[in-house]
């Protein structure tokens, strides 16, 4: 359960930082609003994946992109840039968090 909460928090922070970098100030959303977007997106992705297991991942990705587009009131290209930057930020956070554990493991 703690892992799920942590993943939601990190995903929210990455998406929030991404929109702060990409969007002009008048289109930016608050942190609670981005958290709501992440929760809606996770529920939609889970539902889609359960209903359509074979192509669920592709439809979920398109649904996420559509949610970002609608939530931030931007076009498809800007939604894609926001989503990709959020993935890059999340990967950087995961790398920074994981490096100390990797270093400790290498010392054993």
Q: By C-alpha distance, which of 26, 92, 88 is closest to 80?
A: 88
Residue-level pLDDT at 14: 96
Q: What confidence tens digit (pLDDT) does each residue in 29-76 have? A: 999 999 999 999 999 998 998 888 888 889 999 999 999 999 999 999
Structure tokens at 108: 């054993």
Task: Give the pLDDT band of residue 19 (cuts 50, 70, 90).
Answer: very high
Within 8 A by CB and 6+ apart from 51, the residues are none
Within 8 A by CB and 6+ apart from 96, the residues are none
* Lowest pLDDT segment from 67-76, 78-87, 89-98: 89-98
Within 8 A by CB and 6+ apart from 63, the residues are 41, 44, 45, 48
Q: Is the pLDDT of residue 81 over 80?
A: yes
Mean pLDDT of the chain: 91
Q: Is the pLDDT of residue 87 over 80?
A: yes
- Asked if 61 and 83 touch (Cβ cutoff 8 Å), the reply is no
Q: Is the pLDDT of residue 108 over 80?
A: no
């Amino acid at each position: 359960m703690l892992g799920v909460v942590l993943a939601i928090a990190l995903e929210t922070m990455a998406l929030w930082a991404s929109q702060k970098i990409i969007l002009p100030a008048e289109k930016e959303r608050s942190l609670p609003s981005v958290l709501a977007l992440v929760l809606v997106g996770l529920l939609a992705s889970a539902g889609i994946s359960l209903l359509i297991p074979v192509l669920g991942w592709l439809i979920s990705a398109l649904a996420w992109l559509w949610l970002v587009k609608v939530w931030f009131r931007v076009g498809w290209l800007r939604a894609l840039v926001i989503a990709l930057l959020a993935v890059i930020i999340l990967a950087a956070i995961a790398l920074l968090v994981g490096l100390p554990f990797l270093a400790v493991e290498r010392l054993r």
